[in-house]
Structure 1
Amino acid sequence: MNEGKDGSVAQRKHLSCLPCFDALLFCYTPVHQMKQYYRLGVLDNCSEKWNDLFDCLNLKTKQSSVAQEILETREKAKPHIWYFRTPEEAAANWKEMFGQLDEA
């Protein structure tokens, strides 16, 4: 394994396009299409899945160091799953969402 400048072991991610291909195939299944139609009122054209697959295949054509840098940049740009509120923001949000329950 390669060690970085700081001594940590660099874990290189293996880029596989198989999950993108599986997601694209699932997108065209009746189960997915009916779920989309029920939820949104329209069928899914699966363009996002096609874009993900083409993007993955495009990354496969690049040098591994360049592809790794692109993937790391994307990972850092993703928003954090949790949004932390200050107590004042939380109280205002609670009041907005559930204030009617206090009046009962």
Structure 2
Amino acid sequence: MDAKEKPQMTSSMPQRRPDCIKCFDALWFCYSPFHQMQNYYRYGEFDNCFGKWGDLVDCLALKTKRAAEAEEILIAREKAKPHIWTFRTVDEASENWWRMYKHLVLMSPPLPGAAQPPPKSDKS
């Protein structure tokens, strides 16, 4: 291949478009007996697949837009998502932990040798 024949990577090349086949496959799988029974076992109800329909319709709507406009929408959505590694302060982490596991701590008997909370003193 000559240097003239190699495609040049420039900023004018078209951006990647959303792949609606993946959305269609996810919707198709949502209606499969395997997924429906798994969902019924886990949550006690069948999946209505509304989210998958919404994803497919959204993908098809993005396909009808200009490439630059679709790219802006996709970038804005990516920025709006919270980052997976958001850090918490010690106080925020402690409050979240107690909110999630307080019922387990209060219901369980104290372990032998575990530190006990300090006794409350009535100095009124």
TM-score, structure 2 length as denominator?
0.67
Matches within 5 A, 1:1-104: 1-3=9-11, 12-94=15-97, 97=101, 100=105, 103-104=110-111
Please tell me whether the aligned partners of residues 14 and 67 of structure 2 are also in contact (alpha carbons under 8 angstroms): no
Deviations 1:15-74 (A, max 9, x none): 211110110000011111011111111111111101100110010001111011101000
Amino acid at match of 2:44: G
Q: Do the aligned partners of residues 95 and 72 (structure 1) sit closer, same or farther apart at CA in structure 2, a change above 3 Å counting?
A: closer
Q: Judging changes above 3 Å, is the alpha-carbon distance between structure 1 residues 75 and 11 closer, same or farther for their aligned structure 2 residues?
A: farther
Matched positions, count: 99
More relative contact order, 1 or 2 (CA 8 Å, 6+ apart):
2
Decide whether aligned partners of structure 1 residues 28 and 86 sit closer, same or farther in structure 2, where only a CA change above 3 A counts. same
After the TM superposition, list the runs of 4 or more consecutive aligned residues in structure 1 that deviate by more than 6 angstroms: none
Which has the higher mean CA deviation after the structures are superposed, 75-84 or 51-60? 75-84
Return the alpha-carbon distance in structure 2 between the equivalents of residues 35 and 17 of structure 1. Answer: 25
Higher helix share: 1
Whole-Å separation in 2 of the counterparts to 1:38 and 1:12: 41
